Amino acid sequence: MNNFKSREYKPNKSKGNPESTRRRVMLDMGREKYFRFDLDDMLVEFEVGNNKNTIAATILNKMTSQSMDDALEYISRLKDGGTFDDAKEDRLVGLLQRYSRWR
């Protein structure tokens, strides 16, 4: 006797959290290593001082686990706090857009 049961296609059903099924712009994980290098180089060029590692880790965390919108909000808060000017913010936004994709 054959005890093999055929597997039917079952679409993913949400467990009640509509946020989990919504697609977002996030970091392209296949290019994460290159993003880290470019982000680090850019922050060294911007001369942010001792906060470089904290800023890089926060941006990377927001891009990988939340969304690009959250990372952009964090960068705008840094600009408002006086860490970046408009030109530096535009360069960081361009970097985030270059390494992002829909997930």
Q: Where are the domains of the chain?
A: 25-102
Using one digit for the tens of pLDDT, what is the confidence trace for 9-46? Answer: 455 555 666 655 678 899 999 999 999 999 999 999 99
Distance in angstroms (rounded) separating the CA atoms of residues 17 and 81: 34
Residue 78 reports pLDDT greater than 60:
yes
Instruction: Name 89's bridge partners.
Output: none
Q: What's the mean pLDDT when you consider all of the chain?
A: 86
Provide the pLDDT for residue 22: 78
Within 10 A of 54 (CB to CB), how many other CB atoms are there?
A: 10
Using one digit for the tens of pLDDT, what is the confidence trace for 47-56? Answer: 998 999 999 9
Q: What is the pTM of this model?
A: 0.78
